[in-house]
Amino acid sequence: MTTEPKSANGRPANMNTIGLTQVDYRGGDSTLCQGCGHNSITSQIIAAAFELSLQPSQIIKMSGIGCSSKTPAYFFNRSHGFNTLHGRMPSVTTGAVLGNRKLLAIGVSGDGDTGSIGLGQFKHMVRRNVPMIYIVENNGVYGLTKGQFSATADVGQQLKYAGTNVLPPIDVCIEAMVADCGFVARSFAGDAKQVRELLKAAMSFNGTAVLDIISPCVTFNNHHDSTKSYDYGKEHEERIQDIQFIPSFNEVSVEYDEGEEQIVQMHDGPAIKLKKLDREYDPTNKWRALELLEDARNNHEFITGLIYINEQRKTLPDVMQMNDVPLAELPEAKLRPSREAFAQVMAEL
């Protein structure tokens, strides 16, 4: 008789602290092209949620329209979900998290969905600090509608069907920074470990967490000279730090070398351990973060890692003083104003 391998605490090694295996976080089979970067990100979303022992029934997965926005169908079968209209994921998520503060909102968008049609919604969501993980699967094209240039395509880039792009790109991370986002990161779909650690940190962040992940479209934009291709990413990715997410910093003693490493403590216990690489970098310094992004843009550098973190801002449900109890669970007596209160409101109008 064979026995299942057990972890130190007696749990089967493939089971997390709430008794689920990684399979329990999967969704349907992907219908995207084989090799699409979006599929790699889906795998890491599943792995990160499993490792954090997230309760699937407490998650709402959100998206807009695009190949990227189809991906929530391929993870978290047991969670809530809303596939919204093109570019409208932020407003629908705002409603969802105001209606139920207990839900963890995980959204997947594309560079078209966010940077083109959805840019206004994106900026207002960040400005309001809507608590959600906002992933941009950035491939520089509208994959779903067959490869037109998106707002993140580089100027001068040439594509077989779309011709030459003559317009300068927008930078999703810079847009998030100037709207006062408290968690800004960039990664590459080909860098699975970094994507996973950043996802875990984002899933533990209290506020809007923006992850701009370069995710090659193998069908329309994977040419060697494209900055959104696998070849370019592998050759040019420059990590600003090695990142390790530590689930509950208060409970475990973490060894780190103060000169070489930095610990960023998050609210309610977790922490992020950052090992400095070539450059001195502190992701809690906003001006340094903006400078890094601007320099990278001007010098055509592909920097990845945790660019900025700051948990000081209040989230929208806090500002609006939303009830901890989800609106759907409040009894009618609490939802319906009294006759007197209603009359008073009417008199004030």
CB 147 within 8 A of CB 219: yes
Q: Is the CB of 39 or the CB of 100 nearer to Mg ion?
A: 39
Q: What does the alpha-carbon distance between residue 184 and residue 213 come to, in Å, rounded to a whole number?
A: 11
Closest residue to ligand SF4, Cβ-based? 143
Minimum gap (Å) between residue 36 Cβ and ligand SF4: 3
Judge whether 141 and 153 are in contact, CB under 8 Å: yes
Total of residues contacting Mg ion (CB under 5 A): 4
Distance CA 272, CA 22 (A): 23
Nearer to ligand SF4, 80 or 223 (CB): 223
36 binds, among ligand TPP, Mg ion, ligand SF4, none (CB under 5 to 8 A by kind): ligand SF4
**Least distance in Å: CB of 226 to ligand SF4?**
12
Q: Which is nearer to ligand TPP, 136 or 309 (CB)?
A: 136
User: Which amino acid is residue 159, in one-letter code?
Assistant: L
Q: How far is the CB of 62 from ligand SF4 (least distance, A)?
A: 19
Residue 289 touches which of Mg ion, ligand SF4, ligand TPP, none (Cβ within 5-8 Å per kind): none
Q: What letter does residue 169 receive in the DSSP assignment?
A: P
- Check residue 26 and report its DSSP letter: B
Contact 139, 216 (CB under 8 A): yes
User: What does the radius of gyration of the chain's CA atoms come to, in whole angstroms?
Assistant: 21
* Among 37, 51, 113, 213, interactor with ligand TPP by CB under 6 A: 113
Binding flag, residue 139, ligand SF4 (CB under 6 A): yes
Q: Which of 32, 136, 271, 274 binds ligand SF4 (CB under 6 A)?
A: 32
Q: Does residue 38 interact with ligand SF4 by CB under 6 A?
A: yes
- Quick one: what does residue 131 bind among ligand SF4, Mg ion, ligand TPP, none, with the CB cut-off 5 to 8 Å set by partner type? none
145 vs 248, beta carbon nearer ligand SF4? 145
Q: What binding mask, one character per residue, do residues 59-78 give for ligand SF4 by CB under 6 A, x or -?
A: --------x-----------
- What burial letters (b/e) apply to 234-246, b meaning 16+ CB within 10 Å? eeebebbbebbbb
Minimum distance from residue 145 beta carbon to ligand TPP (Å)? 5
Q: 103 or 108: whose CB is closer to Mg ion?
A: 108
Q: CA–CA distance from 181 to each of 90, 173, 192, 229 (Å)?
A: 14, 9, 24, 27
204 Cβ neighbours under 8 A, 6+ residues apart: 52, 245, 247, 266, 268, 270
d(CA 173, CA 146): 25
Query: Which residues of the shown chain bind ligand SF4 in the complex (CB under 6 A)?
Result: 32-33, 36, 38, 67, 139, 143-144, 217-220
Residue ranges that bind Mg ion, judged by CB under 5 A? 110-112, 139
